[in-house]
């Protein structure tokens, strides 16, 4: 999954590993979910045995610049599985340079490879930039998210 933009700048999307914990914690903090670096390896472990989940990292010039997670669900109301993009964040220094689009392309490929018929994402009303981004890359605004924290 490698794309060359010029001789010196490559953008690669790959699976996350425990050794990426520091960069993942930084990106989750930027997404609004602050977490200590030490928390990341056990969280990755929770997902590792599930081949219907992927934690993808975008790396440019050996630097991690973005994160996406995708989960596949089997549902009763559709004939085929559906995929959910559950987290997407690009490092503040790399936004607007195609990293987000590239990560979503990789997520879409993962979903198609698993036979999914739909890829969905929910985003907070306050994330105006994200809303524009998703519309720009081919998503349609089809619903409204409701949530309830469970203590
Ligand atoms: C939303 C986000 C993931 C987009 O990633 P990105 O790498 O900056 O986006 P890209 O450079 O791939 O942009 C793809 C297209 O969307 C457009 N776009 C991206 N962000 C935009 C914004 N804030 N406002 C308007 N358009 C935007 C780009 O102009 C580009 O359009 P083009 O291809 O026609 O030129 C990134 O800004 C981010 O991490 N934001 C903070 C976290 C967040 O909101 N995550 C989403 C949670 S659901």
Report CA(137)–ligand 1 centroid distance (Å): 9
DSSP readout, 71-113?
A: EEE--TTSSS-EEEEEEEEE-GGGTTSSHHHHHHHHHHHHHHH
76 CA to middle of ligand 1, Å?
A: 33
Q: Which residues contact 54 (CB under 8 A, 6 or more apart)?
A: 15, 69, 70, 107, 110
pLDDT given at position 36: 98
The pLDDT assigned to 116 comes to 98
Distance 146 CA to ligand 1 centre (A): 23
Q: What confidence score (pLDDT) does residue 9 get? A: 78
Please report how the helices 40-48 and 21-31 are oriented relative to each other, as an axis angle in degrees rounded to 10: 100
- Give the residues surrounding ligand 1 with Cβ less than 6 Å away: 31, 88-90, 95-101, 121, 123, 127, 129-130, 132-133, 136-137
DSSP 8-class letter at 7? S
CA-nearest residue for atom 20, ligand 1, is 133
10-residue averages of pLDDT along the chain (151 residues): 57 97 98 98 93 97 97 98 98 98 98 98 94 97 94 89
Q: Compute, in angstroms, the gap from residue 101 CA to the centroid of ligand 1.
A: 7
Q: Which pTM was predicted?
A: 0.94
Could you tell me the CA-to-CA distances from 46 to 106, 121, 122 in Å, in that order? Answer: 22, 21, 22
Which residues does 131 contact at the CB level (< 8 Å), separation at least 6?
123, 141
Cα–ligand 1 centroid distance for 49 (angstroms): 31
Give the tens place of pLDDT for each residue, 115-132. 999 999 999 999 999 999
* Closest ligand 1 atom, residue 99 Cα: 7
Task: For residue range 5-18, list pLDDT tens digits in order.
Answer: 544 579 999 999 99
Q: According to the model, what pLDDT value does residue 49 have?
A: 84
Q: Which atom of ligand 1 is nearest to the CA of 127?
A: 44
Q: What's residue 6's pLDDT?
A: 45
């Amino acid at each position: 999954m490698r794309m060359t933009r010029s001789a010196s700048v490559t953008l690669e999307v790959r699976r996350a590993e425990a050794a990426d914990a520091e960069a993942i914690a930084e990106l989750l903090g930027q997404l609004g979910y602050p977490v200590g670096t030490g928390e990341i390896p056990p969280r990755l472990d929770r997902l590792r045995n599930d081949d219907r989940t992927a934690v993808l990292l975008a790396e440019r010039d050996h630097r991690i610049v973005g994160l996406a997670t995708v989960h596949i669900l089997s549902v009763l109301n559709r004939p085929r599985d559906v995929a959910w993009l559950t987290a997407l964040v690009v490092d503040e220094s790399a936004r607007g340079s195609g990293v987000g689009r590239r990560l979503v392309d990789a997520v879409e490929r993962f979903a198609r490879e698993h036979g999914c018929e739909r890829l969905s994402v929910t985003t907070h009303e306050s994330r105006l930039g994200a809303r524009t981004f998703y519309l720009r890359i081919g998503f349609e605004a089809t619903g409204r998210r409701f949530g309830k924290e469970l203590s």
